Amino acid sequence: MRIVAGHDHEVAAWAQDKYERGLRPYDAALAIVNKQEQIVGAATLHEFNGSNVELCYWGPNTLTRYIAGAIAYFCFRTIKANRITCRTPRWNKPVVRHLPKLGFKYEGLLRRYYGPDRKHDAIIFGLLLSDAERLLRNSA
């Protein structure tokens, strides 16, 4: 798998169609493609404020260390973000366990963010450039 930039509308449309959710406005959308050049995952970047960018990832079992490094490279080196923020529901245990392995730090909790009970709390993770050095080495 590899990451492809520059096809924002096509990638965002894929994520929206595949996951049947409205996609909020995005600043960029990166495709994760397989050897057959088919989209198998997507990273959408939202609310870039000149320092922070929020990352949403679409595509179960496709967020490898290499792909995470390529996304980090795009965020830190291409758009010059200082940090990447990820927000995920508490019930999404695979993501909650995986993000720290990629260097993301637990930063907090938004209670009842996605719904009426505790399982719908949002867990916030952040990645700074200094946290991402190992990922960036893997993507070079």
pLDDT 10s digits, 87-98: 999 999 999 999
pLDDT reported for residue 21? 66
Strand partners, 89: 122
Q: Tokens representing 42?
A: 């997507």
When pLDDT is cut at 50, 70 and 90, the band that residue 131 belongs to is confident
- How open is the CA angle 34-38-42, to the nearest 5 degrees? 80
Assign residue 86 a region (left: φ > 0; alpha: ψ between -120 and 50; beta: otherwise). Answer: beta
Query: Is pLDDT of 2 > 70?
Result: yes
Percent of residues, the chain, with pLDDT higher than 70: 96
Q: How many distinct structural domains can be found in the chain?
A: 1
Domain residues for 9? 2-139
Query: Is pLDDT of 19 > 90?
Result: no
pLDDT reported for residue 129? 92
Q: Which residues of 12-41 are buried (b: 16+ CB within 10 A; e: fewer)?
A: bebbeeeeeeebeebebbbbbbeeeeebbb
**H or E element in which residue 66 lies:** helix 65-73
pLDDT reported for residue 46? 95
For residues 40 and 32, is the Cβ–Cβ distance under 8 A?
yes
Query: Is pLDDT of 106 > 80?
Result: yes
Could you tell me which of 21, 67, 79 has the C-alpha nearest to residue 43? 67
Say which CATH number the domain at 122 has: 3.40.630.30
Give 69-80 as a DSSP string.
HHHHHIIIIIS-
DSSP 8-state code for residue 48: -
pLDDT reported for residue 22? 64
